[in-house]
């Protein structure tokens, strides 16, 4: 799925919700089980309960990589469960020298057929360009929502913070249909500045909900004519209930967000 198709899905579903499948064995409901292989059944139920409300799913690979080959198998099978009318994101945060990035790109775009992948821009353009060669969406980390952003992302150089340099430089690597940026939701004033730099790009926005971000402010300051937003919720949806009703509870939380999103869509 490309970004034009994603725009259409957002309009059809009246939703720019991205559900994060950060599934954990230790948090699985007792009705599902507590084995690694039970992650797949849990993911299946979550997807079935929310796919008509979600524009995208984000699979954080770390939650699966930790289990070795079994985890990679579950990751791949989970990806195959996601309907065609949902944009898929490999939240892998890759980025290395060119020949290594080429292998990462092959893994996620050929072997597993994700629509997009998150990447780190720290090593520069030659670490990103191998991902762009596939014509799919590359999601660059710009301003994240964790506390450690102050360590590097806000450091000033030539009168502006590093994350702004990332935005300005990366836009020269590909057009708006291939690039998306991770932008945390916890500061509306940052969103305003970011939109002045990249008015037309899609933003993948973590930090709404448990991390304190406001969907209203994200929509007010981050939305553009394309919508231009995918707002991610992981724990708040998939672990909404520890009981047998976990799938129903996940749907209810997703529905709350979808209804609010429908009100904000231009």
pLDDT digits (tens, 9 = 90+) for 119-145: 999 999 999 999 999 999 999 999 988
Q: What is the mean pLDDT of residues 226-252?
A: 96
Helices and strands: H and E segment counts in the chain? 12, 10
Local confidence band at 15 (pLDDT 50, 70, 90 cut-offs): very high
Local confidence band at 153 (pLDDT 50, 70, 90 cut-offs): confident
Q: Is the pLDDT of residue 207 over 90?
A: no
Q: Is the pLDDT of residue 242 over 90?
A: yes
Confidence at residue 56, expressed as pLDDT on a 0 to 100 scale: 98
Read off the tokens for 183: 């932008």
CATH of domain 3-214+226-264: 3.20.20.70
CA distance 101 to 262: 37
Show the CA angle centred on residue 153, arms to residues 151 and 158, nearest 5°: 110
Residue 142 · residue 166 · CB < 8 Å: yes
Choose among 236, 196, 232, 192: nearest CA to 215.
232
Most distant CA pair in the chain, distance: 56
The more confidently predicted of residues 149 and 171 is 171
Close Cβ partners of 8 (under 8 Å, ≥ 6 residues apart): none
Catalytic residue among 13, 44, 76, 93: 93
CA distance 179 to 171: 8
CA distance 16 to 178: 18
Residue 59 · residue 21 · CB < 8 Å: yes
Choose among 205, 208, 250: nearest CA to 224.
205
Confidence at residue 209, expressed as pLDDT on a 0 to 100 scale: 66
b/e code 205-218 from CB counts within 10 Å (16+ = b): bbbbbeeebebebb
Residue 205 · residue 218 · CB < 8 Å: yes
Write down the mean pLDDT value for the chain. 94
- For 29-44, give the DSSP string: -TTT-SSTTHHHHHHH
Q: Is 93 marked active-site? A: yes
Confidence at residue 184, expressed as pLDDT on a 0 to 100 scale: 87
Q: Is the pLDDT of residue 211 over 70?
A: no
Confidence at residue 109, expressed as pLDDT on a 0 to 100 scale: 97
* Percent of the residues in the chain that have a pLDDT greater than 90, as a whole number: 85
The C-alpha torsion from 201 through 207 and 213 to 218, rounded to 10°, is 10
Q: What is the mean pLDDT of residues 27-35?
A: 96
Residue 119 · residue 125 · CB < 8 Å: no
Choose among 116, 95, 147: nearest CA to 232.
116
Lowest mean pLDDT across 35-44, 77-86, 207-216, 220-229: 207-216
CA 262 vs CA 16, 139, 182, 184: distances in Å = 9, 24, 22, 21
What number of CA atoms fall less than 13 Å from residue 218's CA on the CB side?
A: 30
Q: What is the mean pLDDT of residues 60-82?
A: 98
CA distance 93 to 134: 17
pLDDT digits (tens, 9 = 90+) for 159-193: 889 899 999 999 999 999 999 999 987 777 788 89
Confidence at residue 210, expressed as pLDDT on a 0 to 100 scale: 61
Domain spans of the chain?
A: 3-214+226-264
Confidence at residue 147, expressed as pLDDT on a 0 to 100 scale: 81
Strand 17-20 relative to strand 229-233, pairing? parallel
């Amino acid at each position: 799925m490309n970004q034009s198709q994603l725009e259409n899905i957002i309009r059809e579903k009246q939703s720019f919700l991205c559900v994060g499948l950060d599934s954990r064995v230790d948090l699985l409901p007792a009705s599902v089980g507590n084995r690694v292989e039970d992650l797949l059944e849990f993911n299946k139920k979550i997807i079935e309960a929310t796919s008509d409300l979600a524009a995208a799913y984000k699979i954080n690979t770390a939650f699966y990589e930790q289990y070795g080959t079994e985890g990679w198998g579950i990751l791949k099978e989970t990806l195959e469960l996601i309907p065609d009318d949902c944009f898929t994101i490999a939240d892998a945060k890759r980025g290395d020298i060119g020949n290594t990035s080429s292998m990462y790109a092959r893994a996620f775009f050929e072997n597993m057929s994700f629509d997009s992948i998150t990447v780190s821009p720290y090593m520069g353009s030659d670490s990103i360009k191998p991902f762009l060669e596939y014509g799919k969406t590359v999601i660059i980390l710009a301003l994240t929502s964790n506390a450690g952003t102050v360590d590097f992302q806000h450091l000033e150089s030539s009168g502006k913070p590093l994350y702004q340099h990332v935005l300005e430089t990366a836009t020269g690597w590909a057009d708006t249909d291939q690039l998306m940026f991770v932008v945390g939701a916890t500061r509306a004033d940052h969103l305003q500045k970011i939109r002045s730099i990249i008015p037309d790009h899609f933003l993948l926005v973590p930090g709404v909900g448990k991390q304190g971000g406001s969907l209203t402010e994200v929509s007010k300051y981050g939305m553009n004519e394309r919508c231009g937003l995918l707002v991610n919720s992981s724990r708040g949806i998939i672990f909404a209930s520890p009981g047998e009703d976990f799938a129903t509870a996940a749907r209810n939380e997703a529905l709350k967000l979808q209804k609010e999103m429908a009100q904000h869509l231009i």
